Chain A
Amino acid sequence: MLYQAITQGESEQRPTPANIAVWVLIWAELTEFALFFLVYLVVRSHNPELFSEGPKHLNTLAGALNTLVLLTSSYCVARAMAGMRAGRPDSCMKWLTATLAMGLTYCGIKAWEYVWNDAAGLDSRTDLFYSLYYYLTFNHLLHVLVGMCTITWAMFRVQQGAFSTESYEGLEGAACYWHMIDLAWIIIFPLLYVLR
């Protein structure tokens, strides 16, 4: 039944969010992350003991909290889009503000995690696992910061009244970029914190 529900979707096609430039950018970013994931998997295959031991010393609570925060931020962006589609820019603004707050929370938790690692004597030169851990997580953090700038820009444009129920492609672009950041973390979390 579940399989049928997934595969037998409605055939009605609706407009694709954002524009082709945004999707090229998203694919470029996801490709960059995919290369990191491949490097991680290959290095892990050559050093199974190291990569089995590494996650045990990480702060799983911080990783799980950040996953919850990012998923919630994606939900907030989706609500912002729904608000704009419904012709309620005030609602859109409220949910974009919540998204930005989630982004700030993510940064705060990540800072706590790095301080926690430092206190435990873990840094990027500890071993190969931690080198890749810092490479992946810091790169992702930079993407979150870029995403927060994008959401701030979208809020500014909403405030200006630049979007309407008929025209909100720029807002969709910002939303899709933010979802991409969430998608990358959906893979990073199990790779670094869960799979041992």
Chain B
Amino acid sequence: MERLNGLFQMLFRGDKGDRFSMTERQWLIGVWVVLLALTLLSALIAESADPAIWTVLFISMTVTLKGQLVIDRLMGLRHANPLIRGLMLLYFYVLAILIVLALLFPEFVARITTL
């Protein structure tokens, strides 16, 4: 549990100054491994799970999470200008919501987009 907490701290909180202090190299590797794991999990779901509400929600969450990790940690926007970071993150939040809406309520989307 402590290790899991350490991983969350590393990915989402900070890269220095706490008891799980890690070098830039170490947390870059950590982020990369999490991104690969999320991708493999998504591919596994694509091949094995039947379409269901939980798969749509889970896949949309992984898209948002992967986007946030790349933006914050690989692009290095975690502590950058809040406007630029906010716009980048907003892109992923909005698109994830639109994906969920389009897949879970296709009739509604079809109705409001019919000319």
Given contacts A71-B32, A186-B66, A195-B103, contact A17 B75 (CB under 8 A): yes
- Of A15, A72, A75, most buried by chain B (CB within 10 Å of CB) is A75
What are 14 inter-chain pairs, A to B, with CB distance below 8 A?
A5-B11, A6-B12, A9-B79, A13-B79, A17-B77, A42-B110, A42-B113, A46-B110, A48-B106, A55-B46, A60-B46, A68-B39, A72-B32, A190-B60
10 closest cross-chain pairs (CB), A and B: A45-B109, A64-B43, A41-B102, A16-B80, A75-B32, A194-B46, A5-B12, A45-B106, A14-B79, A16-B81
Q: Complex formed: what's the CA distance from A186 to B95 in Å?
A: 11
Q: Complex formed: what's the CA distance from A23 to B76 in Å?
A: 13
Q: Does A10 contact B (CB under 8 A)?
A: yes
Bits for A48-70, please: 1 = Cβ < 8 Å to B, else 0: 10001001000011011001100
A2 nearest CB across to chain B (Å)? 6
Contact of B42 among A48, A52, A194 (CB under 8 A): A194
Q: Which residue on chain A has the smallest CB distance to residue B76?
A: A17
Given contacts A23-B84, A186-B70, contact A1 B5 (CB under 8 A): yes
The interface residues of chain B lying within 8 Å CB-to-CB of A189 are 39, 42
Contact of B79 among A12, A41, A71, A75 (CB under 8 A): A12
The interface residues of chain A lying within 8 Å CB-to-CB of B60 are 190
Q: Verify A183–B99 contact, CB threshold 8 A.
A: no
The interface residues of chain A lying within 8 Å CB-to-CB of B12 are 2, 5-6, 9
Size class of B's contact patch? Answer: 35 or more
**Measuring CB to CB, which residues of chain A are less than 8 angstroms from any residue of chain B?**
1-2, 5-6, 8-10, 12-17, 23, 27, 30, 34, 37-38, 41-42, 44-46, 48, 52, 55, 60-61, 63-64, 67-68, 71-72, 74-75, 77-79, 81-82, 175-176, 179, 182-183, 186-187, 189-191, 193-196
Q: Verify A194–B51 contact, CB threshold 8 A.
A: no
Majority-rule SS of A interface residues: helix
A194 nearest CB across to chain B (Å)? 4
Bits for B85-109, please: 1 = Cβ < 8 Å to A, else 0: 0011001100100110011001101
Given contacts A37-B95, A78-B76, A82-B24, contact A5 B13 (CB under 8 A): yes
Contact of A10 among B55, B79, B80 (CB under 8 A): B79
Bits for B39-54, please: 1 = Cβ < 8 Å to A, else 0: 1101101110001000
The interface residues of chain B lying within 8 Å CB-to-CB of A176 are 75
Q: Does B19 contact A (CB under 8 A)?
A: no
Given contacts A38-B98, A42-B109, A195-B103, contact A13 B80 (CB under 8 A): yes
The interface residues of chain B lying within 8 Å CB-to-CB of A63 are 43
Given contacts A64-B40, A71-B35, A82-B24, contact A17 B80 (CB under 8 A): yes
